[in-house]
Amino acid sequence: MSLLEIRNLRSVIKTRDGEARAVDGVDLTVKRGEALGLVGESGSGKTALALSILGLLPDGHGRTLPGSSIRLLGEELVGLEKRRLREIRGGSIAMIFQEPMTSLNPVFRVGDQIHEAVKAHRDLGRGERWEEVVRLLREVGIPDPEDRARDYPHQFSGGMRQRAMIAMALAGRPALLIADEPTSALDVTVQAQILELLKGLVRKLGMGLLLISHDVGVVSRVCQRVLVFYAGRIMEAGSTADILTDPRHPYTRGLLGSRLSIKDRRRVLRPIPGEVPEADAWPPGCRFHPRCSESWDLCAREEPDLMEISSGAEPERLRDASSDPTSGGQAAVRQARCWLLSGDRSRVG
């Protein structure tokens, strides 16, 4: 059994003109001890996806539609009763966010905030709890943890704050950690440290990790598999190595082409033209087609399914109902949602 199985997740965000489908039919699986990356631009709906898992979409601002399924070790989370959901939050699944500056409560000491999490999810005596707080801080690499636990968040640097957040997330010994842009607000050197920390923790604790970022580089450092997310759907999936060296979907290629790299000194920056469409106004047909340089008529008319592709051999559609790019046990499974990559040449013609 996988750690996390998501099937047909659809979540909506409330806008002035109604409800917008920020997440529109997503399947994914995270296995124990696996680090899965989710890459997408701002506005693609990836944060909504992350929040949906724990039911954290703010009441009145968003909700997960029925028909979605999110299973943690077999337990269905969608529509779960409040008390059990709270046990899972911070307990079996923990989440860290983008802005460590504002994600910690400024009026409570860091140690107290971690202690709160420990108290909520672990069965330890008083003294043991405080020892655990110190131990957690040490584990994430904060020096002098006994002293620092008594500090307030504003007395920590950005990187240390994020470490503290990770410590707080680990307090409940989660089986799965969701990290939503954990490094985007940090300096580059600190970014590397945090990513290494995450990588190490995944290995050491056998945790599952869902790492979400707009930066492919960040994801590639830590994760074995990558999902490319756009306009509420998965556009391409594959192992990190495959995606980086041989991106197939035009969007993925565009993403990688718009990255800066020391090595590409002479190459021109090639941004993807256009903007991410608003969540309540997905274009017809393939959602990427307006910005795609290789689109055909079919792309504008009909939306492709997520199809399995493999390098070289005949591309073929998946036969079973699930289009989950991460099931099946092979990290090498590649999928893409693009007519150009499908085997049905006659339709593209």
Partner 1 sequence: MARGRWLGIALPGLPQLLRGKWLEGGVALSLWVGLLAVMLARFDRIVEAIQGGVDGRVAVLTLLLVLVGVWVWSWGSVREGRSEQEAGEGIKWGILPGGWAAFRSNRMALLGLGLAISFYLAMVLTPLIAPFDPLSMPAFEEAGDMRLRLAPPSAVHLLGTDQYSRDVLSRILYGARISLTIGFLAVAISVTLGTFLGAVAGYWGGLVDSVIMRVLDMFMAFPSIVLLIAIVALFEPSIFLVIAALAFTQWPFTARIVRGEILALREREFAEAARALGFSRARLLLRHLLPNAMPSVVVVATLGIGNAIVLEAGLSFLGLGVRSATPSWGTMVDQGRAYLLDAWWVVTFPGLAIVLAVMAFNLLGDGLRDAMDPRQGTRVDP
Partner 2 sequence: MLVYAARRVLTSVPLVLGVATIVFLVLALAPGDPASVYVRPGMSPETLEHIRRNLGLDAPAHVQYGRWVLSFFRGDFGYSLASGMPVRARILAVLPNTLILTSVSLCIAFVTGVLVGVVQAVRQHSFLDSVLSGASLFFYSMPSFWLAIMMVLVFSVNAGNAWGWPVSFPPSGMASDGYELMKATDQLRDRIHHLVLPAFTLALVLAGGIARYVRSSMLEVIRQDYIRTARAKGLPEWLVVWKHALRNALIPVVTLVGVYFPLLLSGTVFIEYVFAWPGMGRLMVESILLEDYPVVLAGTFLFGGMVVLGNLLADLLYGIVDPRIRHGEG
Residues that bind partner 2 (CB under 8 A): 54, 56, 86-91, 94-95, 97, 99, 102-108, 116-117, 120-121, 151-152, 154-155, 165, 168, 172
**185 is a contact residue toward partner 1 (CB under 8 A):** no
Among 37, 55, 62, 285, binds partner 1 (CB under 8 A): 62
Count of alpha carbons within 13 angstroms of residue 94, beta-carbon side = 23
Quick count: other Cβ atoms within 10 Å of Cβ 139?
A: 18
**198 is a contact residue toward partner 1 (CB under 8 A):** no
**46 is a contact residue toward partner 1 (CB under 8 A):** yes
**270 is a contact residue toward partner 1 (CB under 8 A):** no
Q: Which is nearer to partner 1, 62 or 247 (CB)?
A: 62
Binder of residue 120, out of partner 1, partner 2, none (CB less than 5 to 8 A by kind): partner 2
Q: Which is nearer to partner 1, 62 or 285 (CB)?
A: 62
Binder of residue 57, out of partner 2, partner 1, none (CB less than 5 to 8 A by kind): partner 1
Q: Which is nearer to partner 2, 19 or 116 (CB)?
A: 116
Which two tokens mark 178?
């969701």
Binder of residue 42, out of partner 1, partner 2, none (CB less than 5 to 8 A by kind): partner 1
Q: How far is CA 345 from CA 339, 340, 348, 349, in A?
A: 8, 8, 5, 6
Closest CA to 141 of 182, 86, 196, 102: 196
CA distance 57 to 76: 17
CA distance 305 to 321: 11
Go through the chain and tell me how many residues it has.
349
Shortest reach from residue 61's CB to partner 1, in Å: 5
Q: Which is nearer to partner 1, 14 or 129 (CB)?
A: 14
Listed as own residue / partner, the contacts of 278-282 with beta carbons closer than 8 Å and 24 or more positions apart are 278/15, 278/20, 279/13, 279/15, 279/20, 279/21, 279/22, 279/43, 279/45, 279/231, 279/232, 280/15, 280/17, 280/18, 280/19, 280/20, 280/21, 282/21, 282/24, 282/231, 282/232
Among 37, 45, 55, 304, binds partner 1 (CB under 8 A): 45
Shortest reach from residue 63's CB to partner 2, in Å: 15
Stretch that binds partner 1, among 55-63, 127-135, 233-241, 260-268 (CB under 8 A): 55-63
Among 25, 33, 43, 141, binds partner 1 (CB under 8 A): 43
Which two tokens mark 73?
């070790």
Among 4, 38, 53, 57, binds partner 1 (CB under 8 A): 57
Binder of residue 22, out of partner 1, partner 2, none (CB less than 5 to 8 A by kind): partner 1
| Binding flags for partner 1, 2-41, as an x/- string (CB under 8 A) | -----------x-xx-----x-------------------
Shortest reach from residue 55's CB to partner 2, in Å: 9
DSSP codes joined into one string, 284-343: SSSTTGGG-TT--HHHHH-PPPPEEE-SSSPP----SS---TTTTS-TT-EEE--GGGSS
Number of continuous H segments (helices) and E segments (strands) in the chain: 13, 13
Shortest reach from residue 251's CB to partner 2, in Å: 29
* Amino acid letter for position 223: C
| Cα-Cα-Cα-Cα dihedral sign, residues 8, 14, 18, 22 | negative
Shortest reach from residue 279's CB to partner 2, in Å: 20
For residue 80, give the 3-state DSSP assignment: coil
**48 is a contact residue toward partner 1 (CB under 8 A):** yes
Return residues touching partner 1 (CB under 8 A): 13, 15-16, 22, 42-48, 51, 57-58, 61-62, 279
